Amino acid sequence: MADLKDFAEQLVNLTVKEVNELANILKDEYGIEPAAAAVAVAAGGGAAGGEAAEEQTEFDVVLKSAGASKLAVVKLVKELTGLGLKDAKDIVDSAPKAVKEGVSKDEAEGIKKSLEEAGAEVELK
């Protein structure tokens, strides 16, 4: 139990640079996409709970369903994320799934609009 507590303390005390390095290691060596965890660790270490609830500055664009034009949505997800075709298809197939996480309100709304024009059902969180 003490080891897990020490590990948790190490995670919380990581710098932004170290969080990014950890995210790259998890992705490259283990195939784990840690975007949500990295955002949570970074936010938990630097923001006070009361202030974060006042005004949301980072949004997640969540694909709820691809709709009738699945191929168009897969292509658009590929363009928006910079992922390969297989990874983009996996995101669309596993909806509801986050397409982009921790983006500004303007960027999130732009992505949402693009995906909805392609026929997808999208939600901002």
The confidence score (pLDDT) of residue 48 equals 45
Distance CA 50, CA 66 (A): 36
Show me where the domains of the chain are located: 2-41, 57-122
Q: Per-residue pLDDT for 93 more than 70?
A: yes
Q: Which residues pair with 59 in a beta bridge?
A: 103
What are the pLDDT digits (tens) for 8-58?
888 888 787 787 788 788 878 877 776 554 445 445 554 444 444 557 778
What string of H, E and C letters represents the secondary structure of 15-28? CHHHHHHHHHHHHH
Residue 107, pLDDT > 80, answer yes
Domain 57-122 has CATH 3.30.1390.10: yes
Q: Mean pLDDT in the chain? A: 78
Amino acid (one-letter) located at 70:
K
Amino acid at 27: K
Residue 54: predicted pLDDT: 58
For residue 104, the model assigns a pLDDT of: 85
Euclidean distance between CA atoms 97 and 12, whole angstroms: 26
